[in-house]
């Protein structure tokens, strides 16, 4: 039991830090956001609400300039002011914006927030174990190697979540009749809008590259056409 104590302490610390991060995020979002009021987007979100069997889908505007969408730990959906401005300026269509909302709904519906907490706990434990092993042979460098490996692991887990949320969004967009073209056309614009990737190698990125996401969407569409009952 004593040998496990450091790992249990690390897990407890990770849990405390995670919940602190959740609390801090909620405070920030509460202070800097408000419900979105846009008639065209409401028409589209009402169609999605009907498709998933809820009364309505509330979207909030997060008052920051970077172009992004996010699903908060409490299940709320946010579009940043910068992203909404791109829509108002005509750089992003209403249907493309709806595909972003559908993607964030996917994160909520698939429980990715809870999954990330578990992933965070697990990778912290792995980081500590690897650091202990590597430090025996490479004192001082072992921690760096352990951090690098666990960063790769977290990036891969994050990419898997993004593909899952994309698939959920695709299914929802098809069900509502919006279709998949807005989802794919947005990804074609995304690197220009937000600079995804920045030259980093794919295995270091927390989000898949746009071309890979489009290929996955096409593959899902083709598979669903062959097996429409699924």
Q: Looking at the predicted structure, is the pLDDT value of residue 8 above 70?
A: no
| DSSP at 203 | G
What is the Cα Rg of the chain in Å? 20
- Which strand (E) or helix (H) includes residue 152? helix 142-176
> In this prediction, what percent of the chain has a pLDDT beyond 70?
73
Q: Looking at the predicted structure, is the pLDDT value of residue 21 above 90?
A: no
Cα atoms in the 13 Å half-sphere on the side-chain side of 5:
3
Q: What pLDDT sits at residue 51?
A: 95
- Mean pLDDT along residues 114-126: 65
Q: Where are the domains of the chain?
A: 2-226
Taking the CB of residue 37, how many other CB atoms lie within 10 A of it? Answer: 9
Position 73 confidence tier, pLDDT thresholds 50, 70, 90: confident
Kindly report, residue by residue over 160-191, the tens digit of the pLDDT: 999 999 999 999 999 999 999 999 999 999 87
Closest CA to 145 of 157, 133, 155: 133
**Has this prediction a pTM greater than 0.75?**
yes
Token pair recorded at residue 24: 């801090």
Q: What counts of helices (H) and strands (E) characterise the chain?
A: 8, 4
Q: Looking at the predicted structure, is the pLDDT value of residue 197 above 80?
A: no
Token pair recorded at residue 114: 């809870």
Position 200 confidence tier, pLDDT thresholds 50, 70, 90: very low
- Which strand (E) or helix (H) includes residue 59? strand 59-62
């Amino acid at each position: 039991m004593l040998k496990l104590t450091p790992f249990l302490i690390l897990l407890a610390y990770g849990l405390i830090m995670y919940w602190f991060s959740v609390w801090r995020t909620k405070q920030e979002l509460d202070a800097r956001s408000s419900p979105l009021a846009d008639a065209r987007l409401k028409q589209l979100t009402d169609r999605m609400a009907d498709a998933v069997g809820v009364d309505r889908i509330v979207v909030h505007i997060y008052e920051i300039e970077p172009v992004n969408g996010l699903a908060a730990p409490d299940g709320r959906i946010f579009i940043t002011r910068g992203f909404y401005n791109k829509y108002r300026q005509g750089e992003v269509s209403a249907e493309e914006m709806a595909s972003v909302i559908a993607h964030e709904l996917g994160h909520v519906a698939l429980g990715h927030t809870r999954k990330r907490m578990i992933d965070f706990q697990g990778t912290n434990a792995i980081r500590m174990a690897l650091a202990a092993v590597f430090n025996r042979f490479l004192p001082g460098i072992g921690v760096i190697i352990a951090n690098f490996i666990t960063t790769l692991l977290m990036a891969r887990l994050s990419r898997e979540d993004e593909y899952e949320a994309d698939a959920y969004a695709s299914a929802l967009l098809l069900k509502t009749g919006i279709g998949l073209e807005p989802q794919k056309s947005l990804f074609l614009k995304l690197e220009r809008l937000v600079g995804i990737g920045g030259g980093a190698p794919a295995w270091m990125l927390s989000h898949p590259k746009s071309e890979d996401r489009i290929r996955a969407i096409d593959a899902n569409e083709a598979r669903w056409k062959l097996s429409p009952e699924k």
